[in-house]
Structure 1
């Protein structure tokens, strides 16, 4: 009757929970008392309830009374059967509140949620590494313990994980369970099949985070990334020279061993590489198989044809990783790169001075030999370099071939014109590495840098006070001599500095040359104008007024400096120049980012793996590896991507666009990389 009435007359004195039957209360009270009166006769384990003992005893008896009606699989407990039946019904009642992914078991949901929470509750006591799953910790701990519990029955080789043993056993059985649906080729391991299928699909899932180049195999990406990281893990034991690939080390080692396994059948000359033998044999056969399609000139070696064809195509494929300058030949790039690396392999035997190019060493050696082969026909003066003679001859001819396009002023030397033109362009290419202040001439930078270094090379002979600039010493010495050479013609007042006299004379002339562009108020001194202009700048913050308009596009700005920066879009002026490679930029911030290529600075660091990046945007893209974020979603098929460029390339599958066209054969391609590969096949 209590089932219908809901009466529960049996109440627990500990927690006031009520029950309909006395036996149920008795079982419940054992929670408080800790009593476990029911013992297993097999192992003496004790239980508080008979049902729990019954379930436990099935371990010993092997009983599995709960049978699946779909597949006849049996289970020792009803709850295990219910979980199993969800395989057949497809029920996944446990849903993630973050991403709506559903699971058959609550435990699987709990594990999944750690992806969102970042929780890794299972910690290794040896090295404090943490894991999201207990099984992952168990596998990891075998690294410390050395345990390899999974043993091959054929050869006794042992493994840490069962999956590794299963893969290994296929060596003995010859089983290749993974079959390609395209060509029926079979493989021992699933990853091998996956890699093979990319031949058919064209998928290249391994993408370089530095340059977005993609690869079919992970090992190809690893080798490629060494271009960016500079890693060369294969080291010669003889000379410590390192290489990015093992095959290159093998070829190099033949230098030390003297091995030359490839022998010419005509003259018995031997070579360390097969390709070298093939090229050599063309001396005997006279074959020149590489023919230029433009002019029909033929070559013995393919590389000679490739270099020659760049005359026609204008291609310069060898690009400096520091400053992006390009070259048609690798040797030219090598010479150029010495600017960045500082390498100077050509050394003078007389004074040990070193040079980056052999030609520069030859010119230098004339200092020691006294040779001056370039002689002036007018005055017989001789020079070590032809350029020095050419410049000298302008004294006799009066030539000033370097003319300013702005004001037609002419100069004898190109450097004089370059310095002069900075008056018109506003260029200041010499930048202080301490504070980024820029200068039009190197001498001005040198003077400025003394502020940071504290150098004061100009010393007063009277009081030993030192100065950064010579002019400052000259002005100071007038304190001792009491000289005031600058005299006002109006009132005879004298001054130690010319600038002080100039400012003073404005009292008499009434001149106020510094005019406010906002309100036309004028001032005698520049400093007074600067203080005044702060009033206008402050007022605009509150009023929102933008009085400075671009005459090209009518865009308005609150400050004149912002307008000046904007106008460079229209004029093309790039006043911020890199002192390393002379590349120029519109904004100072762009120069700062670029300079990190030369300095190697990577200030943006990933908190997950400590990988560092030059730009914040690169860090943001990288962090998506850890977060799993793919914010760029295809509107056609909802496939998502980490990088916008990947989405753009993908969308061409839907649109059919192939924007990269090869001019030789008219064939078009989805991406630039595929075009490049095609070009190499011609």
Structure 2
């Protein structure tokens, strides 16, 4: 069989026509042009496939699901979804792929190659699609819009995850506890609760966390950064969620309500601790004396009665306290603050305990008045009735 060899690269081809088309790779010649958009191609077959973009023609159909394609190659790759065939394998990690393009992109993980560069900031990417999405950071373009709430997104993946808020879809399920999630990343982070994995470590104190966001918030303890502030009183916080909870002090909102006694709470944690009053649940016990408590905070404060630890120091007089509540009460001495007022007289004090002691004075006087009234009624003679 006669073969035709390329003088430039030495490749052998079966016909002179094939050789002629091949040579255009080296010369860059693209003699076939699209009449509608002007795009040029090196051989007529490429132009034929391209023209289907304008006509909408998709002559290749999947026998199993009916999906149609412009190119036979696209149908071939698609059919592997049904057969599970993945003929392209990575020699380095063994991962397999159904098409060459996916394999080519994957190989860049090992080579470190990132051929697509952003002209504005210089950031590089493995895939052209990643660069396209990234460029929207600079342009502000958000082409994907939610029909239900109007929120816009820069990429389809973000839009897809958002749409699950409205549909309630949570396609990612934890195999260990059955909890469902909208995002694959949320499931990955959740599984660390079961595995105990905490891959993110603080460089300053060595504390470990199961997600990067928790580490970022924690580092603000060391840096002193408090980027979130209350619009009403100006108090600053390390976490946006703390501002939301704090604002309830001003609004009076108490969204957590006890079904048994009707008592309401600002914090979910306070509600959980309160619920143990009804169940008599005190799951936290002291290893030294056996005393039980309904919260870890109460146990921690109690343990200081044994070890003598007093970590809370008054900035005004350096007096030390075993609990933050003790320091809070003490600081009212320096500020002259007396938030507890008697409803019966002008008396006010710094602690609830002092108010309770004061109210006993009124209770005693009230009891004495009641007793005196009872004695007077017993001593007075009954009224005489006329006959």
What is the CA–CA distance in structure 1 between the aligned matches of 2:61 and 2:218, rounded to whole Å?
A: 56
Is contact 2:88–2:96 with CA below 8 Å preserved after alignment? yes
- Please point out which of 311, 315, 323 is paired with 1:330: 311
Q: How far off is 1:110 after superposition?
A: 3.4
In structure 2, the partner of 1:93 is 88
In structure 1, the partner of 2:201 is 208
Where in structure 2 are the equivalents of 1:15-164 lying within 5 Å?
21-24=15-18, 26-27=20-21, 38-40=32-34, 43=37, 45-66=39-60, 73-87=67-81, 88=83, 90-97=85-92, 99-164=93-158
Q: How many correspondences in the alignment?
A: 295
Q: How far off is 1:139 after superposition?
A: 1.1
Is contact 1:178–1:189 with CA below 8 Å preserved after alignment? yes
Q: How far off is 1:111 after superposition?
A: 2.5
Where in structure 2 are the equivalents of 1:485-524 lying within 5 Å?
none
Q: Does residue 1:231 correspond to 2:212, yes or no?
A: no
What is the CA–CA distance in structure 2 between the aligned matches of 1:71 and 1:298, rounded to whole Å?
A: 63
1:113 aligned counterpart, secondary structure: helix
Is contact 1:96–1:109 with CA below 8 Å preserved after alignment? no
Q: In structure 2, list runs of 5 or more residues that go unmatched.
A: 255-264, 272-281, 321-387
Is contact 2:90–2:107 with CA below 8 Å preserved after alignment? no
Where in structure 2 are the equivalents of 1:288-437 lying within 5 Å?
307=301, 309-310=303-304, 312=306, 314=307, 328-331=309-312, 334=313
Is contact 1:93–1:102 with CA below 8 Å preserved after alignment? yes
In structure 2, the partner of 1:320 is none
What is the CA–CA distance in structure 2 between the aligned matches of 1:261 and 1:41, rounded to whole Å?
A: 67
What is the CA–CA distance in structure 2 between the aligned matches of 1:100 and 1:76, rounded to whole Å?
A: 31
What is the CA–CA distance in structure 2 between the aligned matches of 1:297 and 1:23, rounded to whole Å?
A: 93
Any idea what the Cα deviations from partners look like across 1:474-518, whole Å, max 9, x if unmatched? xxxxxxxxxxxxxxxxxxxxxxxxxxxxxxxxxxxxxxxxxxxxx
RMSD: 5.1
Any idea what the Cα deviations from partners look like across 1:196-217, whole Å, max 9, x if unmatched? 6666x35444542445544556
Q: How far off is 1:73 after superposition?
A: 4.6
2:225 aligned counterpart, secondary structure: coil
Flag the 1:260–1:180 CA change in 2: closer, same or farther, 3 A.
Answer: closer
What is the CA–CA distance in structure 1 between the aligned matches of 2:65 and 2:48, rounded to whole Å?
A: 25
What is the CA–CA distance in structure 2 between the aligned matches of 1:35 and 1:296, rounded to whole Å?
A: 88
What is the CA–CA distance in structure 2 between the aligned matches of 1:253 and 1:140, rounded to whole Å?
A: 36
Q: How far off is 1:162 after superposition?
A: 1.1
Is contact 1:96–1:102 with CA below 8 Å preserved after alignment? no
Q: How far off is 1:145 after superposition?
A: 0.7
What is the CA–CA distance in structure 1 between the aligned matches of 2:185 and 2:41, rounded to whole Å?
A: 48
Is contact 1:177–1:188 with CA below 8 Å preserved after alignment? yes
Where in structure 2 are the equivalents of 1:456-535 lying within 5 Å?
none
Q: Which structure has the larger Rg over C-alpha atoms?
A: 1
2:114 aligned counterpart, secondary structure: coil
2:48 aligned counterpart, secondary structure: helix
Is contact 2:58–2:69 with CA below 8 Å preserved after alignment? yes
In structure 2, the partner of 1:453 is none
What is the CA–CA distance in structure 2 between the aligned matches of 1:235 and 1:311, rounded to whole Å?
A: 35
2:103 aligned counterpart, secondary structure: helix
Q: How far off is 1:150 after superposition?
A: 0.8
Flag the 1:126–1:40 CA change in 2: closer, same or farther, 3 A.
Answer: closer
Q: How far off is 1:142 after superposition?
A: 0.6
- Please point out which of 155, 159, 168 is paired with 1:165: 159
What is the CA–CA distance in structure 2 between the aligned matches of 1:202 and 1:33, rounded to whole Å?
A: 58
Flag the 1:252–1:131 CA change in 2: closer, same or farther, 3 A.
Answer: same
What is the CA–CA distance in structure 1 between the aligned matches of 2:215 and 2:26, rounded to whole Å?
A: 62
What is the CA–CA distance in structure 1 between the aligned matches of 2:148 and 2:158, rounded to whole Å?
A: 15
Flag the 1:231–1:73 CA change in 2: closer, same or farther, 3 A.
Answer: same
Q: How far off is 1:167 after superposition?
A: 2.5
Q: How far off is 1:357 after superposition?
A: 7.3
Is contact 1:94–1:106 with CA below 8 Å preserved after alignment? no
Q: In structure 1, list runs of 5 or more residues that go unmatched.
A: 263-271, 279-288, 317-327, 336-343, 347-355, 359-682
In structure 1, the partner of 2:365 is none
In structure 2, the partner of 1:267 is none
Is contact 2:170–2:181 with CA below 8 Å preserved after alignment? yes
What is the CA–CA distance in structure 1 between the aligned matches of 2:242 and 2:72, rounded to whole Å?
A: 63
Q: How far off is 1:235 after superposition?
A: 3.8
Q: How far off is 1:228 after superposition?
A: 4.1
Flag the 1:86–1:45 CA change in 2: closer, same or farther, 3 A.
Answer: same
1:112 aligned counterpart, secondary structure: helix
What is the CA–CA distance in structure 1 between the aligned matches of 2:35 and 2:267, rounded to whole Å?
A: 78
What is the CA–CA distance in structure 2 between the aligned matches of 1:16 and 1:295, rounded to whole Å?
A: 89
